[in-house]
Structure 1
Amino acid sequence: MESSNLVIENSTKPDVLEKMYRKDPNAFTKSFKQAWEQNPDSPILSVWYERLNFSEKEKKSSMLENGFIFMGILAIMAGVSTRIIFHFIEQETIAPINLAFGIIPFIAAYFVYKHTPKRSIIYSLIALFLVSGVYLNLLPLDFNNDSIILAYLHFPIFLWVLLGLAYTGNDYLQSSTRLAYIKFNIEYGILYASMAVSGMVLALLTMQLFSFIGLDIGDFYFSNVVLFGAAALAIVGVHLVSMNLKLAKNVTPFIAKIFSPLVLITLLVYLVTVISVGKNPFLDRDFLIAFNGILLGVLAVTIFSITEKEPDGKKSIFDYVNMALIVVALIIDSVALSAIMFRITSYGITPNRLAVLGVNILICANLLWIMISYMRFLQNKSGPIAIQNAVTKYLPLYGIWAVFVIFTFPVIFN
C-alpha cells in the first residue's frame, strides 16, 4: 500500500501521523500532498498543512528579517579587516594575536544586533574592545619575554568573555543565558569545523588545478582567499547557528555521550602508563606542561557533557562517567598543584610558574564545586540545574584571571 494511502487512512489519528512524520519527514510530505488534495476539509490535515508549509514560508520571507544582509556586511568587513591585519603581521609590526580583532568584534556586533542590549552594555563593549586593542599593541613585540607571551595567550580568554557579554546582553547575570552561550560555542565549533574542512578541500583542489597549468598560487591564494574566507565564514557560522540549525543541535548530545567514556578510558590507561614508566612531573617541566594540558582537556569535556544534559534529565550511566572524569581531573590537578608549588619553592617565582599556579587553583575550585553538585544530584538532593550553575556561575572568574595576567604580568615582570 502506498504511503499516500496510509496518510489518508490515518487522517483521523494524530498520533499515528506524528509517528509517520518523525520516521521519514520527506516521504510523509510527498504523501501528504495527495492526501490534502483529496481531503481539504479535514481539520487534522489542515493543521498538518499549515505545519508543513509554515517553515517554507518562513525560509523564503524571513531571510532579511533574520539579519542576512547585516551578516553579509559583517562577513565582508571581517574578511577585509583580517587581511589588513595580516599584512602588518607579515611586516612584523604587530603581534599575530591581533588577528582575533579581525573577527571577534564583528561577531560581537552581530550578537548586539540580534539581542539588542542596553546602551550601557553596548558602550562597555566598545570601550573594552578599544582599550584592550590599544593596550595589546602598546606591549613590546618581544617573543622572548614570558610575561608578554602569557598576555598574548590569555587574550583569547578575555575576548571570549567579552563575546559572552555581547551574547547574553541584558541577561548576563542569569545562569540559563550563560549556559545557552556555552551551548552556542559548542554548536558553533562543530559547524565551523565542518565548513572549514569543506573549505580546505576546495582550496587544495583549486591549487592543484592551477598547478596543472604550471601556476603556483599557494601563497597568493592563502593570503587573499583562504584568510578572507576563514574570517568571513566565522560570521556566517554565527548566523547559521543563531537560526537554530538542526545539524549541530542534533549532533552535540551524541558527541558528548561518546566522548566522555572514551576520554575516561584513555585517561585511566595513560595515568597507569605514566606510573609504570616512572614519569615525574615534579622534575620534568615538559611533562608538567603536558599534565596541565590534559587537565584543561578533561575540564572542557566535562563542561561539554554537563551543558548537554537536559535540565529535567534523570540520572544515567553517563552521569557516573562524568563523576569519574571529575575525580580523575581532581587527582591530576592535585599532582599538578603539588608539582608547581615544588618548583616555585625550589627555583623561585617566574611568570610561567605563577600563571600555571593560578590556573590550577582556579580549575581545582571549579572542579570541587562541580563534584559536590554532582554528588548531591546522584544522591537525589538536587537537580541537574545545580550542576550547570556550578559551571556557568564560575565562568567570569576565568575572565578575571585572564585580565589579571594580561594587564599586570607585563608590569610586574618587566
Structure 2
Amino acid sequence: MKSLEIVMTAGVHLGAFMAFAGLTAGIFAVLDVTLPEALILSSIAWGIGAVPIVALASAYQPDRLPTLQDWDQGLAKTLRLLTRLLTPLALLVLAIYLFGYIPMHFGGAFEERELRMVYNATIVAMLLCGAASGRAERDNAIPRYAMLALTMLTLALNLYALAAIGYRTLELGLTPNRHAVLGWNVVTLLMLAGICHALWTGRDDWVNRFAQRVGALVPAPVEWSLWLLVSLPILE
C-alpha cells in the first residue's frame, strides 16, 4: 500500500511539474526568448529525475519501519511540499511578468490575443497554486507573507488583463469570446481581492480565514461557468 501511495504521489508531482513547465514555455514564447536546447533537455531530465526522489521523501519516513509508517499524512504532506516548491517559482514568474516584460511591452496585451490568453492562464494557475498553498499550510508567518505577495502580484496582473480586455471590448464591441473572458477576469479579480483581504487581516489565524474565504468564493467561478453554458449559445 505504501508503494502505491508513493507511485500516486509521484504522479501528482509529475503533473505539477508538467503544468509548470508548460506555463513557463508559454511565457518564454511570449517573451520571444529562445533557450538553448541543451538547457531545455537538462531541465526536463532534472525535473523528471527529481520526481521519484521528492515523492519518496514526501510519502516515506526513513526513521520508521515499514509497519510503523504514518498512513494518514501522505497527501497533506505531499501538498505542503509541492506548494512550497511551486510558490517561489510562481513568485519569480510573476515578478518577471510585472517588472520585466509588461513595462517594456505595455500595449502588447491590448493588441495581441495570444498575450491575453497567456496572462489569463497565468492568473488561473496562480490562483490554484495560492488556494492549494494556503489550504496545505499551518499558522506560520513566512508562508503567509509568501501567499500575500503571490496574491497581490496576481491581483496586479489581473487588473492589467482586465484593462486589456475591457479596452478591446470598448473598441471592437462585445463578442461571445470577450463576454466570457471579461467575466472570468471580474470573477478572478473578486476572488483575489477577497483572498488578499483575508491574508492581510487574519494575522493570528490566517489559515482558517483563508480556507473560509476560498470556500465562500468557490461558487463564483462555478456560477459563471453555468452562465456561460446557458448564454454563449444565445449570444452566438
Q: Tell me the TM-score normalized by structure 2.
A: 0.67
- Kept in 1, the 8 Å contact 2:148–2:199? The answer is yes
Contact 2:135 2:210 in 1 (8 A): no
How many angstroms apart in 1 are the aligned matches of 2:14 and 2:195? 33
Q: Percent identity?
A: 22
SS in 2 for 1:393: helix
Show the counterpart of 1:377: 202
1:275 aligns with 2:98: no
Matched residue type, 2:141: S
What residue identity is the alignment partner of 1:348? G
TM superposition shift of 1:316: 2.1
Give the match for residue 93 of structure 2: 266
Offset from partner CA, 1:321-358 (integer Å, 9 cap, x none)? 11001110110010111111100000011111110111
Equivalent residue, structure 1, for 2:62: none
1:268-287 deviations in Å (ceiling 9; x for gaps): 02333313542521112111
1:44-123 to 2 correspondences below 5 Å: none
Q: Who is 1:386 aligned against?
A: 209
**1:301 and 2:126 aligned:** no
Q: RMSD value over aligned CA atoms?
A: 2.6
8 Å CA contact 1:191, 1:248 repeated in 2: no
Distance 1:259 1:291 in 2: 18
**Which residue number corresponds to residue 344 of structure 1?**
169
What are the within-5 Å matches in structure 2 for residues 323-334 of structure 1? 323-334=148-159
Shift of 1:400: 1.1
Matches of 2:219 and 2:102 in 1, distance apart? 35
Alignment of 1:285 with 2:113, yes or no, is yes
Q: Residue 220 of structure 2 corresponds to which residue in structure 1?
A: 397
Unaligned segments of structure 2, at least 5 residues: 2-7, 16-70
User: Aligned equivalents of 1:308 and 1:247: distance in 2?
Assistant: 12
Asked if structure 2 preserves the Cα contact closer than 8 Å seen for 1:373 and 1:386, the reply is yes
Does the aligned pair in 2 maintain the 1:260–1:318 contact within 8 Å? no
Question: Are residue 255 (structure 1) and residue 116 (structure 2) matched?
Answer: no
Per-residue CA distance 1:54-99 (angstroms, 9 max, x = gap): xxxxx9xxxxxxxxxxxxxxxxxxxxxxxxxxxxxxxxxxxxxxxx
Show the 5 A alignment for 1:129-208: 190=9, 192-193=11-12
TM-superposed deviation, 1:246: 4.7
Larger radius of gyration: 1
Counterpart residue number, 1:123: none
DSSP-derived class of the 1:349 partner: coil
User: 3-state SS of the aligned residue for 1:257?
Assistant: helix
Over 3 Å counting, the alpha-carbon distance change for 1:348 and 1:190 in structure 2 is farther
SS in 2 for 1:341: helix
Tell me the matched-pair count: 176
**2:231 maps to what in 1?**
408
Q: Report the Cα distance in structure 2 between the residues aligned to 1:334 and 1:285, rounded to whole angstroms.
A: 16
CA 1:345–1:190: 2 relative to 1, 3 Å:
farther
Offset of 1:383 from its aligned partner?
Answer: 4.1
Uncovered stretches (5+) of structure 1, i.e. residues with no partner: 1-58, 60-188, 197-243
> If the length of structure 1 is used for normalisation, what is the TM-score?
0.39
Change (3 A) 1:194 1:370: closer
